[in-house]
Amino acid sequence: MKKINSLILGIISLSFIGCSSTPKCSDAVTKDLVIDIAKNELKEQGLNSLISKLQFEIEAIRTTKHDKSIDRYECAANFKMIGNDDLRTLPITYTVESTDKKDEFYVDVYGF
């Protein structure tokens, strides 16, 4: 299974400055990052032209584990790619954890 990594910097991390906890599996900022990672994966596969033709959604989000000692979440969800005549759903898993700076977080996505 392919693993995709992404470190949040810039605008998204600014929304968490001053926050002491990791965003949860279903938080908007986490879902937005998972969608960004999917779009980057499509670009890497040479499918950049598809991105504007698709709508992306994350559904049935489940927190499968929360390690309180390091404030790390393990998540599962259904990733939907919706086109005019097509709907693709992929089961994905992902983890969310804060960096040592605490105003940034790291997401690993599995299943693309």
The better pLDDT of the pair 11, 70 is held by 70
Quote the pLDDT of residue 19. Answer: 52
Q: Which residues pair with 79 in a beta bridge?
A: 58, 90
Would you say the C-alpha torsion 82, 1, 97, 61 has a positive or negative sign? Answer: positive
Angle subtended at Cα 6 by Cα 87 and Cα 104, rounded to the nearest 5 degrees: 120
The per-residue pLDDT for range 4-46, each reduced to its tens digit, is 444 333 234 334 444 558 999 999 999 999 999 999 999 999 9
CA distances 76 to 17, 23, 62, 63, 85, Å, are 26, 15, 5, 7, 26
In this prediction the pTM is 0.80
